[in-house]
Amino acid sequence: MGILTWTYIMVGLSFALYIGIAIWSRAGSTKEFYVAGGGVSPLANGMATAADWMSAASFISMAGLISFMGYDGSVYLMGWTGGYVLLALLLAPYLRKFGKFTVPDFVGDRYYSRTARLVAVVCAIFVSFTYVAGQMRGVGIVFSRFLEVQIETGVIIGMIIVLFYAVLGGMKGITYTQVAQYCVLIFAYMVPAIFISLLLTGNPVPQLGLGSELETGGYLLDKLDGLLTELGFAAFTSGSKATIDVFCITAALMVGTAGLPHVIVRFFTVPRVRDARKSAGYALVFIAILYTTAPAIGAFGMYNMLQTTSNQPIADMPQWVSNWQKTGLIALDDKNGDGRIQYRKGPEQNELIIDKDIMVLANPEIAQLPNWVIALVGAGGLAAALSTAAGLLLVISTSISHDLLKKSFMPGISEKSELLAARAAAAVAVIIAGYFGINPPGFVAEVVAFAFGLAAASFFPVIIMGIFSKRMNREGAIAGMATGLIFTIAYISYFKFINPEANIPENWLFHVSPEGIGTLGMLLNFAVSFAISRFTPAPPLAVQELVEEIRVPRGASTEVVAH
């Protein structure tokens, strides 16, 4: 069977599974819609968290970045992995013990302020929309290649699917759908990696294949370094970014993780605080399977791509190139008219333009794997993008229905009306997310990096100081969140949208790129929060006692009801 037929089978079966689970687990109350009723097992929650965590950026874009950036791409690997550890150890158990549905709920109660809650809602919505744009873009890329439709059509199909199970099932439907999506995406990620590792090195373990000797002789990384330096690029195993920028991007991704509202809310879906810790451990294992494989996939993809395209006659270009040309994500331009394609550093010399986001999806085709493997990767990419998109859309809908309506403007709203408002908000959010998926501000991992930077600059300081500092008050929290968010948005907007020609290291503040500026925004947030809280009244005694109670492990095994 052809790729298209296999894709319809793989995607059709996986979508039927997701929709069936959504119908089976549809939410009947706000508690089921917001936190899946608080009765999810740690193992299932660990899988769901891993699927929520491993977005289109992790599945589609991260290994593609490593393919083209080599060592520099490791900032994404280190930042996202380290960030999850930070979240699991420092934040999740304490927030779970506090027992609130959302991050704005925590901020509003901890800082005894409706204004602080509203600022947190704005931050949550802004971060979530920035992040979800990358997911919808990933959906469009997968559909455009494997179902042979336009990216815009692919995004619309993805919108309809997400809308169905996010609006119908809420967190309960999303949780069990994400368990299935994790199984699909990890199988889809590992199967081609194992195949290609065997073909290139004879080693079935991709992580070991990365450092192994090729079947044709010589070590993979040595060969790859040699090929790239011959073409004028930096060696795969060395980096070109400034150390300060590497540090800031990694830190922004790490602490941005800890502030991502759609991940934090997962820890409210288990019955007890100790279950939150267990599910964090399970999730880390499930996440590590993909993240330790990504460098191998990146190296395999770049090696095979160079071997099959560089200095090849245009007439003899492999089939995978023409397949992806139809999507507009690969372009050939014979600038010197010699009838061959040169892949070289510099726009004036490079005759092969490849979108970084296609490398993982194209990898099985480049390696000439069976059609069913190629289709499987497409289904896995959709699972990764849709699982995270659903979690983000739920954050947006609950921020509007629970934090804006129920807690701020309409405290007397009935549970039925609140649930209806949450579903309506999710529907509107899907439409806006679809627009950003069709008109994205960058490639998938870059867009997601901006979301992490915004989360780092806005949420992380007020959450961490809210847990560990009794002196932190509402004035400090509000001023810090607003300052960090405005600074980071302004910096990213200037270099990415207002004056993109100026987006070079010489013009960056302290040589920190827009992807890493969230770290400086976070430090600014900490400084402003600390200073303002010291010159304004201390929090009420009841709030200080609440902070003390959150940090005490006493009663960790008892039932905590989320409200």
Amino acid at 302: M
Domains of the chain in sequence order: 3-204+239-303+368-551 (1.20.1730.10), 306-366 (no CATH)
> Element (H or E) spanning 353, and its range?
strand 352-354
Per-residue DSSP letter, 214: P
Q: Which residue carries 């019955």 as its tokens?
A: 271
Per-residue pLDDT of the chain (563 residues; tens, 9 = 90+): 777 788 888 888 887 887 777 677 665 555 555 555 556 788 888 888 888 777 777 888 888 889 988 888 888 888 888 888 887 777 777 777 777 656 777 888 889 888 888 877 877 777 777 777 777 777 777 777 777 777 788 888 878 877 776 665 555 667 777 888 888 889 999 999 999 999 999 999 999 999 899 988 889 999 999 988 888 888 898 878 888 999 999 999 888 876 666 677 777 777 777 787 788 888 889 999 999 999 999 999 999 998 888 888 888 888 888 888 887 788 888 887 888 888 888 777 788 888 887 888 889 989 888 888 888 888 888 877 777 777 777 777 777 777 777 777 777 788 778 778 877 887 888 888 788 777 766 555 566 677 778 888 988 898 889 988 999 999 999 999 889 989 999 998 898 878 988 989 899 999 999 989 999 999 999 999 999 999 999 999 988 888 888 776 544 444 443 33
Exposure string (b/e) for 248-260, b if CB count within 10 Å is 16 or more? bbbbbbbbbbbbb
> What pLDDT is stored for residue 561 in this prediction?
38
Around Cβ 345, how many Cβ atoms within 10 Å?
A: 12
Q: Which of 358, 446, 419 is nearest to 59 (CA)?
A: 358
Amino acid at 165: Y
Rounded to an integer, what is the distance from CA 331 to the centroid of its chain? 27
Residues 6 or more apart whose CB falls under 8 angstroms from that of 136 comprise 155, 158, 159, 385, 389, 433, 434, 436, 437, 438, 440
For residues 272 and 39, the answer to whether their CB atoms sit within 8 Å is: no
List helix spans (H) across 57-205.
Answer: 62-69, 74-86, 92-98, 103-110, 114-146, 151-201
Task: State how far the Cα of 155 lies from the Cα of 473, in Å rounded to an integer.
Answer: 43
* Phi, psi of 353, rounded to the nearest 5 degrees: -105, 115
> What pLDDT is stored for residue 25 in this prediction?
60
Q: Which of 395, 5, 343, 324 is nearest to 174 (CA)?
A: 395
Per-residue DSSP letter, 90: I
Q: Which of 495, 561, 487, 556 is nearest to 526 (CA)?
A: 487
Task: State how far the Cα of 223 lies from the Cα of 381, in Å rounded to an integer.
Answer: 29
Q: Using CA atoms of 13, 18, 19, 20 in order, give the dihedral in degrees to the nearest 10.
A: 80
CA-derived radius of gyration, the chain? 23
Residues 6 or more apart whose CB falls under 8 angstroms from that of 321 comprise 309, 330, 332
Locate 371 and state its tokens.
């059609």
Q: Is the dihedral of CA 401, 402, 406, 409 positive or negative?
A: negative
Q: Which of 470, 468, 473, 457 is nearest to 526 (CA)?
A: 457
For residues 56 and 392, the answer to whether their CB atoms sit within 8 Å is: no
Task: Output the CA–CA distances (angstroms, integers) from residue 460 to 204, 214, 342, 453, in the order listed.
Answer: 40, 44, 45, 10
* Phi, psi of 213, rounded to the nearest 5 degrees: -85, 140
Q: Which residue carries 């099932």 as its tokens?
A: 169
Q: pTM value?
A: 0.80
Task: State how far the Cα of 276 lies from the Cα of 444, in Å rounded to an integer.
Answer: 30
